[in-house]
């Protein structure tokens, strides 16, 4: 019910101590409210002077006000604490997403990542806000009332004490059932999110393949499953509320009956009997309140676990061990015996190579051989499990180094185009660039045709929900971004032209080729004609570098792995 990790939150002790203090006062106010109400009624009943009834009623009203005021203050107090904490989580999560975006999204799915950040964090907020107030109400208020009733009439107090654990045990059994249902609900929810985003993204493909209808039926089925699991959880939640109400009302009735007997037998006077009768429902109230929100807290707890597990993932700390200004001809990078696994599945094995200055290195190998993973290790997005990395003479645990990241530019297969003007998209990494520089980059990247086509030229809005652009144009925008920032001397390309047709690729190659000079380049590709631009090749197979050398050396050897790969790929050139 309460996650132990709650107690590790920043500022939690301070918050809890004030919460305990306020709940204590609230408990005393509830007692006072019951006592003075009983006194007022008894005074009135016994026909005492009006003044005494009025005084008792005034005390009752003050106690009532204090009690209600404390409820509001406590909720506000917890609400601002929950807001602050959830905000820090949001920032940490966003930071995590920016640092490890590719890894997180591939592991959790886009839909899920987005929901965790939105609805997930809202649920966590609910959880903090509701749970702590209710738990402390439950752990303080009934016991104050119990002690007071014990002081007046211990037999009634013992009955109330005995019935409490029975109700709690019953509640726990139902709670456990609700927990497993809520877990299933949460899994279904995540599944639904991912499938939905997946379907939206794949809509053009689904349409083309004529599968849109079939897929929509599938989405309908998943949302139906989600609806059913939600209803199942709700059913249990309703049942437990009903059962609790039933038991507590029954218990109060039993107390009333015993009090009635005691009054009839003259064992008790009216005032204590009435006080106990008024306080008995208050004794059970915190438990009933707790059960009302139990379902909401279950969702919150699941979301909390999700958020924490994401935040606690080992992260590539952008370290500042490396001292490197701008990469130049004399700089050296070496990797020795690098190993990397995804979920204990080795993906890179004993990777070793060295490079110096402005070398242009091709990474080739069949699909799944580990090219992208190796690029992610070299760019510092992933941490190797073992091995040695050196830049010049500096030993580094990994390449998540601020100075290294300032030096490179990463060009993926599908560069991301932001919903913004073409100009801002181009200037994304070089905000200081002036119009002349942008225009030169536009020309060099071959974007002039696109700009001529657009009515508002560089100021046209592109990207999602704006003017759509082709894959080749997106690559050109990424190239223009690269051209604007001449400080970065290390370039990573991950199959930048794999999805383009031969003509576009040929066109783009004319643009890319001149950019490559005076840069250290890592270029993962299946298209072996790029080898004519490269001066070193790493041939990968099953996560290992099976061959390395200059393209000339390897291509001239009939038996080389590179020639074999070229044959398999239907080698061009």
- CB closer to ligand ATP, 372 vs 401: 372
Smallest distance from the beta carbon of 524 to Mg ion, in angstroms? Answer: 6
Stretch that binds Mg ion, among 40-48, 166-174, 369-377, 446-454 (CB under 5 A): 369-377
Stretch that binds Mg ion, among 74-82, 366-374, 446-454, 565-573 (CB under 5 A): 366-374
**Footprint on residues 44-63 left by ligand ATP (CB under 6 A):** none
- CB closer to ligand ATP, 344 vs 510: 344
Contact letters (x/-) for ligand ATP, 293-332, by CB under 6 A?
----------------------------------------
Q: Identify what 11 binds: Mg ion, ligand ATP, none; CB under 5 to 8 Å per kind.
A: none
For 525-548, b/e burial (b = at least 16 CB within 10 A) is bebbebbebbebbbbbbebbbbbb
- DSSP lists the bridge partners of residue 395 as 390
Contacting residue, 23, 115, 233, 372, with Mg ion by CB under 5 A: 372
Smallest distance from the beta carbon of 473 to ligand ATP, in angstroms? Answer: 22
Smallest distance from the beta carbon of 139 to ligand ATP, in angstroms? Answer: 44
- CB closer to Mg ion, 141 vs 537: 537
Contact letters (x/-) for ligand ATP, 343-382, by CB under 6 A?
x---x-----------------x-xxxxxxx---------
Tell me the number of residues near ligand ATP by CB under 6 A: 13
Smallest distance from the beta carbon of 568 to ligand ATP, in angstroms? Answer: 13
Contact letters (x/-) for ligand ATP, 92-111, by CB under 6 A?
--------------xx----
Order of strands, edge to edge, in the sheet holding 386-391?
Answer: 345-356, 332-342, 386-391, 394-396
Q: What are the backbone dihedrals phi and psi of residue 93, each rounded to the nearest 5 degrees, phi first?
A: -65, -45
Nearest residue to 22 via CA among 178, 109, 137 = 137
- CB closer to ligand ATP, 135 vs 538: 538
**Distance between CA atoms of residues 352 and 386, nearest Å:** 12
CA angle (443, 444, 445) in 5-degree steps: 90
Smallest distance from the beta carbon of 535 to ligand ATP, in angstroms? Answer: 21
Query: Which residue matches tokens 């003007």?
Result: 421
- CB closer to Mg ion, 369 vs 401: 369
Nearest residue to 524 via CA among 545, 552, 553 = 545
- CB closer to ligand ATP, 444 vs 561: 561
- CB closer to ligand ATP, 27 vs 109: 109
Contacting residue, 21, 342, 429, 506, with ligand ATP by CB under 6 A: 342
Contact letters (x/-) for Mg ion, 314-353, by CB under 5 A?
----------------------------------------
- CB closer to ligand ATP, 209 vs 569: 569
Positive/negative CA dihedral, 393, 399, 404, 410: positive
Tell me the number of residues near Mg ion by CB under 5 A: 1
Cα–Cα separations (whole angstroms), residue 307 to 113, 116, 182, 225: 10, 7, 17, 24
Residue nearest to Mg ion (CB): 372
**Distance between CA atoms of residues 77 and 338, nearest Å:** 51
Q: What are the backbone dihedrals phi and psi of residue 353, each rounded to the nearest 5 degrees, phi first?
A: -165, 165
CA 361 distance to own-chain centroid: 36
Stretch that binds Mg ion, among 81-89, 131-139, 245-253, 372-380 (CB under 5 A): 372-380
294 within 8 A of 240, measured Cβ to Cβ: yes
Pairing of strands 520-524, 490-494: parallel
- CB closer to Mg ion, 15 vs 372: 372
Terminal Cα distance for the chain, rounded: 65
- CB closer to ligand ATP, 367 vs 431: 367
Cα–Cα separations (whole angstroms), residue 26 to 82, 119, 142, 326, 536: 21, 32, 11, 64, 76
Query: What is the total residue count of the chain?
Result: 573
Stretch that binds ligand ATP, among 234-242, 339-347, 456-464, 553-561 (CB under 6 A): 339-347
* SS3 per-residue string spanning 430-470: CCCCCHHHHHHHHHHCCCHHHHHHCCCHHHCEECCCCECCC
**298 Cβ contact partners less than 8 Å away, ≥ 6 residues apart:** 178, 179, 182, 233
Query: Which residue matches tokens 């009903």?
Result: 242
Smallest distance from the beta carbon of 201 to ligand ATP, in angstroms? Answer: 18
341 within 8 A of 385, measured Cβ to Cβ: yes
| H-type alpha helices, 334-416 | 371-378, 402-405
**Footprint on residues 450-479 left by ligand ATP (CB under 6 A):** none
Smallest distance from the beta carbon of 311 to Mg ion, in angstroms? Answer: 28
Contact residues toward ligand ATP (CB under 6 A) are 106-107, 342-343, 347, 365, 367-373
Residue ranges binding Mg ion (CB under 5 A): 372
């Amino acid at each position: 019910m309460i996650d132990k990790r709650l107690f590790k939150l920043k500022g939690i002790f301070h918050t809890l101590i004030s919460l305990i203090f306020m709940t204590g006062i609230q408990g005393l106010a509830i007692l006072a409210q019951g006592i003075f109400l009983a006194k007022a009624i008894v005074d009135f009943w016994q026909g005492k002077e009006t003044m005494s009834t009025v005084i008792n009623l005034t005390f009752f009203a003050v106690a009532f006000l204090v009690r209600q005021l404390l409820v509001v203050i406590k909720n506000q107090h917890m609400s601002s604490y929950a807001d602050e904490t959830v905000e820090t989580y949001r920032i940490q999560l966003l930071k995590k997403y920016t640092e490890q975006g590719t890894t997180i999204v591939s592991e959790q799915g886009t839909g899920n990542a987005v929901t965790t950040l939105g609805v997930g964090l809202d649920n966590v907020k609910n959880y903090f806000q509701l749970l702590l107030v209710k738990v402390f109400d439950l752990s303080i208020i009934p016991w104050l009332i119990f002690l007071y009733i014990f002081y007046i009439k211990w037999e009634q107090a013992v009955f109330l004490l005995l019935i409490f654990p029975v109700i709690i045990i019953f509640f726990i059994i139902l709670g456990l059932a609700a927990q497993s249902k809520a877990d299933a609900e949460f899994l279904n929810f995540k599944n639904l999110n991912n499938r939905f985003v997946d379907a939206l993204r794949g809509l053009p493909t689904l349409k083309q393949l004529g599968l849109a209808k079939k897929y929509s039926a599938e989405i309908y089925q998943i949302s139906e499953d989600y609806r059913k699991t939600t209803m199942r959880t709700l059913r249990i939640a309703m049942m437990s509320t009903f059962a609790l109400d039933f038991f507590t009302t029954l218990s109060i009735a039993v107390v009333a009956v015993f009090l009635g007997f005691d009054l009839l037998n003259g064992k008790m006077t009216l005032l204590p009997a009435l006080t106990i009768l008024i306080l008995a429902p208050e004794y059970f109230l915190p438990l009933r309140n707790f059960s009302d929100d139990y379902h909401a807290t279950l969702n919150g707890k699941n979301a909390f676990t999700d958020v924490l597990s994401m935040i606690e993932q080992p992260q590539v700390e952008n370290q500042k061990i490396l001292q490197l200004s701008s990469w130049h001809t004399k700089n050296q990078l070496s990797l020795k015996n690098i190993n990397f696994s995804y979920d204990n599945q080795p993906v890179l094995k004993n990777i070793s190579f060295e490079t110096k200055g402005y070398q242009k290195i091709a990474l080739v190998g069949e699909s799944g051989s580990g090219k992208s993973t190796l690029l992610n290790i070299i760019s510092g997005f992933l941490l190797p499990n073992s091995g040695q990395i050196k830049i010049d003479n500096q030993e580094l645990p990994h390449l998540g180094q601020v100075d290294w990241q300032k030096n490179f530019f990463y060009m993926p297969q599908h560069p991301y185009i932001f919903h913004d003007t073409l100009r801002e998209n181009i200037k994304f990494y070089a905000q200081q660039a002036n119009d002349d520089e942008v225009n030169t980059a536009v020309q060099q990247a071959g974007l002039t045709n696109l700009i001529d086509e657009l009515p508002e030229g560089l100021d046209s809005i592109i990207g999602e929900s704006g003017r759509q652009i082709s894959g080749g144009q997106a690559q050109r925008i990424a190239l223009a971004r690269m051209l604007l920032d001449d400080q970065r001397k290390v370039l990573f390309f991950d199959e930048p032209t794999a999805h383009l047709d031969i003509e576009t690729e040929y066109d783009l190659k004319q643009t890319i080729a001149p950019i490559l000079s005076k840069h250290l380049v890592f270029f993962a590709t299946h298209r072996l004609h790029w080898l004519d631009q490269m001066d070193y090749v790493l041939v990968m197979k099953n996560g290992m570098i099976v061959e390395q050398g200059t393209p000339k050396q390897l291509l001239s050897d009939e038996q080389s792995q590179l020639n074999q790969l070229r044959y398999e790929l239907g080698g061009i050139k």
